[in-house]
Amino acid sequence: MQLTVAIHAMMEEEEKMYPSNSALQLERKQFEVIKSPDLFKGNREIYINHEDEIYKLSITKTGRLLLTK
């Protein structure tokens, strides 16, 4: 619930900054939230294929997420 509120707050800020962005004019919807342990399944990095490009999503030593191409 808290994350959904945070996402909506971020979208409201973006709407103020970019009011003509048609993507932000879409009806608000509930977002699926995936917990990082469920995504990483015990690993420190995963690979994502997006539009035939491979990206690496890693957990850094400080616990942050890092996405690289």
Q: What is the pLDDT of residues 44-63, one digit of tens each?
A: 999 999 999 999 999 999 99
**How many domains is the chain built from?**
2
What confidence score (pLDDT) does residue 30 get?
77
Q: What digits encode the pLDDT tens for the residues 8-21?
A: 666 677 667 666 55
What is the Cα–Cα distance from 28 to 36, expressed in whole angstroms?
Answer: 24
Residues 19 and 39 placed together within one structural domain of the fold: no
Structure tokens at 20: 């003509």
- With vertex at residue 9, the alpha carbon angle to CA 14 and CA 60, rounded to the nearest 5 degrees, is 85
Structure tokens at 45: 């990095």
What is the Cα–Cα distance from 31 to 43, expressed in whole angstroms?
Answer: 24
- With vertex at residue 25, the alpha carbon angle to CA 39 and CA 10, rounded to the nearest 5 degrees, is 50
Residue 62: DSSP 8-state? T
What confidence score (pLDDT) does residue 4 get?
58
Q: Compute the average pLDDT of residues 14-30.
A: 62
Q: For the domain that residue 52 is a member of, what is the CATH number?
A: 2.10.70.10
Q: Which domain holds residue 43?
A: 35-69
Residues 47 and 67 placed together within one structural domain of the fold: yes
